[in-house]
Amino acid sequence: MLSVTEKQAIDHEIALVPYKKASVIEALKIVQQHRGWISDESVEEIAAYLEISPAEVDSVATFYNLIFRKPVGRHVILLCDSISCYVMGYPRLHKLLEDKLHIRMGGTTADNRFTLLPNVCLGCCDHAPALMIDKDLYRDVEPALLDDILKKYE
Amino acid sequence: MERPLTRNIHPDRPALNLKEYEMTGGYTALRKVCSGMTPAALQKLVQDSNLKGRGGAGFNTGIKWSLIPMGEEAASPKYLICNADEMEPGTFKDRLLLEGNPHQLIEGMILAAYAIQANISYVFLRWAYHKAADLIRKSIQEAYDAGYLGKDILGSGFHLDMHLHTGVGRYMCGEETALLNALEGKRATPRAKPPFPQISGLFGKPTIVNNVETLCCVPHIVNNGIEWFKGLSYSEDGGTKLYGVSGKVKRPGVWELPMGVTMRELIEEHAGGMKDGVELKGVLPGGASTDFLTTQHLDIKMDYKSVAAAGSRLGTGTMIVMDSGTCPVGFVHNLQHFFAQESCGWCTPCREGLPWVEKLLLSLEKGEGKKEDIELLDMHTQLLGPGSTFCALAPGAMEPLQSALKYFRDDFEKHIEHKKCPYD
Ligand SMILES: Cc1cc2nc3c(=O)[nH]c(=O)nc-3n(C[C@H](O)[C@H](O)[C@H](O)COP(=O)(O)O)c2cc1C
Ligand code: SF4
Ligand code: FES
pLDDT in tens, A17-76: 999 999 999 999 999 999 999 999 999 999 999 999 999 999 999 999 999 999 999 999
Written as one letter, the residue type at B17 is N
Residue B187 has pLDDT above 90, yes or no: yes
To test the pocket of ligand 2, the residue of B350, B357, B380 to mutate (highest count of ligand atoms within 8 Å of its CB) is B350
| Rounded distance between C-alpha atoms, residue B151 and residue A2, angstroms | 35
Shortest distance between the Cα of B296 and any Cα of chain A, in A, equals: 22
| Rounded distance between C-alpha atoms, residue B192 and residue B76, angstroms | 22
Q: Contact B331/A87 with Cβ under 8 angstroms? A: yes
Which residues are bridge partners to B247 per DSSP?
A: B321
In this prediction, residue B424 carries a pLDDT of 87
| Rounded distance between C-alpha atoms, residue A22 and residue A77, angstroms | 30
**Domain coordinates in residue numbering, chain B:** 18-231, 240-323, 328-418
Q: How many CB atoms lie within 10 A of CB B372?
A: 11
Nearest C-alpha in A relative to B122: A16
CA of B393 to the centre of ligand 1 (A): 11
Q: How confident is the model at residue B204 (pLDDT cuts 50, 70, 90)?
A: very high
Q: How confident is the model at residue B383 (pLDDT cuts 50, 70, 90)?
A: very high
Among residues 236-265 of chain B, which lie with CB inside 8 Å of chain A?
A: 244-248, 252-254
Nearest C-alpha in B relative to A124: B92
| Rounded distance between C-alpha atoms, residue B209 and residue B116, angstroms | 12
For the segment B261-271, the average pLDDT, to the nearest whole number, is: 98
CA–CA distance from A152 to each of A74, A111, A146, A148, B113 (Å)? Answer: 12, 16, 10, 7, 44
* CA of B391, nearest ligand number: 2
For the segment B231-247, the average pLDDT, to the nearest whole number, is: 96
CATH 3.30.565.10 for the A75-151 domain, yes or no: no
Q: How confident is the model at residue B1 (pLDDT cuts 50, 70, 90)?
A: confident
The model carries a pTM of: 0.97
Query: Which residues of A are annotated binding-site positions for [2Fe-2S] cluster?
Result: 80, 85, 121, 125
DSSP 8-state code for residue B124:
E
CA nearest neighbour of B292 among B400, B151, B166, B135: B400
The CATH number of the structural domain formed by A4-63 is 1.10.10
Residue B340 in contact with ligand 2 by CB distance below 6 A: no
Q: A141: number of CA atoms within 13 Å, CB side?
A: 31
CA nearest neighbour of B174 among B392, B420, B334, B423: B392
B6 by Cβ neighbours in 10 Å (0-12 / 13-18 / 19+) ranks as: buried
| Rounded distance between C-alpha atoms, residue B330 and residue A102, angstroms | 26
* CATH for B328-418 (2.40.50.140, 1.10.10.10, 1.20.1440.230, 3.40.50.620): 1.20.1440.230
Which residues are bridge partners to B123 per DSSP?
A: B82, B164
Alpha helices in B117-225 (DSSP H): 130-145, 176-183, 212-224
Residue A82 in contact with ligand 3 by CB distance below 6 A: yes
Phi, psi (degrees; rounded to nearest 5) at B379: -60, -40
Asked if B338 and A22 come within 8 Å (Cβ–Cβ), the reply is: no
Q: What does DSSP say about strands B253-258 and B240-247: parallel, antiparallel, or unpaired? A: antiparallel
Q: How confident is the model at residue B11 (pLDDT cuts 50, 70, 90)?
A: confident
| Rounded distance between C-alpha atoms, residue B136 and residue B133, angstroms | 5
Written as one letter, the residue type at A2 is L
Q: Which overall architecture, per CATH, does domain B18-231 show?
A: 3-Layer(aba) Sandwich (3.40)
CA of B179 to the centre of ligand 2 (A): 13
Q: A84: number of CA atoms within 13 Å, CB side?
A: 39
Q: Residue A121 is nearest to which of B91, B247, B337, comparing CB atoms? A: B91
Average pLDDT, chain A: 97
Residue B57 has pLDDT above 90, yes or no: no
The CATH class of the B240-323 domain is: alpha beta
Asked if A24 and B185 come within 8 Å (Cβ–Cβ), the reply is: yes
Among residues 10-49 of chain A, which lie with CB inside 8 Å of chain B?
A: 16-18, 21-26, 28-29
Asked if A87 and B320 come within 8 Å (Cβ–Cβ), the reply is: yes
Strand order through the sheet with B253-258 = B253-258, B240-247, B318-323, B280-284
In this prediction, residue B12 carries a pLDDT of 87
Nearest C-alpha in A relative to B324: A87
Residue A143 has pLDDT above 90, yes or no: yes
Asked if B168 and A86 come within 8 Å (Cβ–Cβ), the reply is: no
Q: How many CB atoms lie within 10 A of CB A147?
A: 10
ipTM value, please give it. 0.96
> What is residue B423's three-state secondary structure?
coil
**Domain coordinates in residue numbering, chain A:** 4-63, 75-151
The set of residues, in sequence order, having a beta carbon less than 8 Å from that of B341 and lying 6+ positions away, is A120
- Which of A125, A132, A135, A140 is best to mutate for the B interface (most B CBs within 10 A)? A125
Is the peptide bond between B422 and the residue preceding it cis, with omega within 30 degrees of 0? no
A5 by Cβ neighbours in 10 Å (0-12 / 13-18 / 19+) ranks as: exposed
Q: Residue B185 is nearest to which of A60, A86, A137, comparing CB atoms? A: A60
CA nearest neighbour of B251 among B269, B264, B236, B232: B269
CA nearest neighbour of B167 among A77, A87, A60: A60
CA of A85 to the centre of ligand 3 (A): 5
Counting one residue from chain A and one from chain B, the pairs whose CB atoms sit within 8 A come to 129
Nearest C-alpha in B relative to A134: B128
Residue A83 in contact with ligand 3 by CB distance below 6 A: yes
| Rounded distance between C-alpha atoms, residue B29 and residue B229, angstroms | 14
The dihedral over CA atoms of B309, B315, B321, B324, expressed in degrees to the nearest 10, equals -50
Residue A121 in contact with ligand 3 by CB distance below 6 A: yes
Q: Which residues of B touch A137 (CB under 8 A)?
A: 128, 130
Query: Which residues of A are annotated binding-site positions?
Result: 80, 85, 121, 125
